[in-house]
Amino acid sequence: MQRLSREHYTLVLDPQLAPAITIASGETLVVETWDAYKGVWGADQQPPEVGAATGPIAVAGAQAGDALRIDILAITPAATAMHDVRPGRGFLGETFIERRPTVMALRDGHLQFPGGIKVPLNPSVGLIATTPTMIQITASDSGPYGGDLDMKELVAGSTLWLPVFVPGGKLVLGDCHAVVGDGAVGGTGAECSAEVTLRITVEHGKHLPGPRALTPQHFAILASGDDVGETMRLAVQQMVDFLVQERGMEPYAAYSLLSLAGDIRMSRTFRPLSPVKMLLAREVLEQIGT
């Protein structure tokens, strides 16, 4: 099994950037990732680089119009994680104006929060993207290519599909979280470095409109935009389209079902581009079509 060191990282998604590694379709790879701040966690320190993403990873045979199927086989976080409160970030960034990082140990399956509070670990991949045709930054940007999704459901045992825009796909990933809540209301998750084991497979001619995922509990459609309400509508529409076009449902039935067995949620705190997810329970999806 090949291993990609986190020393091979980028801060931009650039179609001209050479791959750090090229693998065969269906190959399994271990990827080392930085935390979002590259370990610069002090209250008086300003990280010189934010959003380091390991890669790019090229997959032989991947072309525009294909999709990469990314099976997340394992996520092993480091021994410590950090949550960062800072002015202007989070839902209450104008109220909590003092910079306050909290560094916490990860031990016995829990994050050790101050005061003796133990939070169960739920390691997830925060930033994962193929490379679009136009340059994008890794930190905070997201779109049809994936990006800084902060989706807590992207745990081991999940499968993510991302559209391919450039030859090889040029996949990057990073910004793992030991645990994070929907919305990341205080500005970040429990930021940590990690080792992620992936199996990456090319699915030819899939022509996806954007990311989709199958997690242990849900099927998810992801969308991003600068208006949260419109982005939520887009995610709902894309889930309706999936149920109609790929599972054979009648449109009104699909729309009604999502109101009963679906959830629409924000993945992270407000940014210029906010990702949202439309979730449908797997136990419901598995009853629909083939």
List, for residues 170-203, the tens digit of each pLDDT value: 999 999 999 999 999 999 999 999 999 999 999 9
The pLDDT, as a whole number, for residue 89 is 87
Give me 26's structure tokens: 């269906």
pLDDT of residue 273 exceeding 90:
no
pLDDT of residue 88 exceeding 90:
no
The pLDDT, as a whole number, for residue 289 is 84
How many Cβ atoms sit within 10 Å of the Cβ of residue 91? Answer: 15
pLDDT of residue 61 exceeding 90:
yes
246, 234, 251: which is closest to 285 by C-alpha? 246
Residues contacting 4, CB < 8 A, separation 6+: 20, 21, 29, 30, 31, 32, 54, 55, 57
When pLDDT is averaged across residues 27-38 and rounded to a whole number, the result is 97
Q: Where are the domains of the chain?
A: 2-205
Q: How confident is the model at residue 290 (pLDDT cuts 50, 70, 90)?
A: low
Q: Tokens 């599972």 label which residue? A: 247
Contact in structure between 217 and 282 (CB atoms under 8 Å): yes
Give the integer Cα–Cα distance in Å for 201 and 184: 31
98, 100, 124, 126: which is closest to 114 by C-alpha? 100
When pLDDT is averaged across residues 14-38 and rounded to a whole number, the result is 97
pLDDT of residue 271 exceeding 80:
no
The pLDDT, as a whole number, for residue 272 is 79
The CATH number assigned to the domain with range 2-205 reads: 2.60.120.580
The pLDDT, as a whole number, for residue 46 is 87
List, for residues 116-152, the tens digit of each pLDDT value: 999 999 999 999 999 999 999 999 889 999 999 999 9
When pLDDT is averaged across residues 205-234 and rounded to a whole number, the result is 95
| pTM, to two decimals | 0.95
The pLDDT, as a whole number, for residue 140 is 85
pLDDT of residue 5 exceeding 70:
yes
Q: Describe the crossing of helices 251-261 and 228-245 by its angle, rounded to 10 degrees.
A: 120
The pLDDT, as a whole number, for residue 99 is 92
DSSP for the chain reads -EEE-TTSEESEE-TTSPPSEEE-TTEEEEEEE--TTTT---TT---S----EEEEEEETT--TT-EEEEEEEEEEE-SEEEEEE-TT-STTTTT--S-EEEEEEEETTEEEETTTEEEE---B--EEE---SS-EESSS-EETTEEE---TT--TT-EEEEE--STT--EEEE--BS---TT-TTS---B--EEEEEEEEEETT---SS-EEE-SSEEEEEEEESSHHHHHHHHHHHHHHHHHHTT---HHHHHHHHHHHEEEEE-SS--SSEEEEEEEEHHHHTTS--
pLDDT of residue 270 exceeding 80:
no
What pairs with residue 173 in β-bridges? 54, 128
When pLDDT is averaged across residues 260-289 and rounded to a whole number, the result is 91
List, for residues 92-105, the tens digit of each pLDDT value: 999 999 999 999 99
The pLDDT, as a whole number, for residue 198 is 98
The pLDDT, as a whole number, for residue 113 is 97
Query: Which percentage of the chain shows pLDDT scores above 90?
Result: 89
List, for residues 223-239, the tens digit of each pLDDT value: 999 899 999 999 999 99
φ, ψ of residue 110 in degrees (nearest 5): -135, 155
- Strands 53-59 vs 171-174: parallel, antiparallel or unpaired: antiparallel
When pLDDT is averaged across residues 214-230 and rounded to a whole number, the result is 94
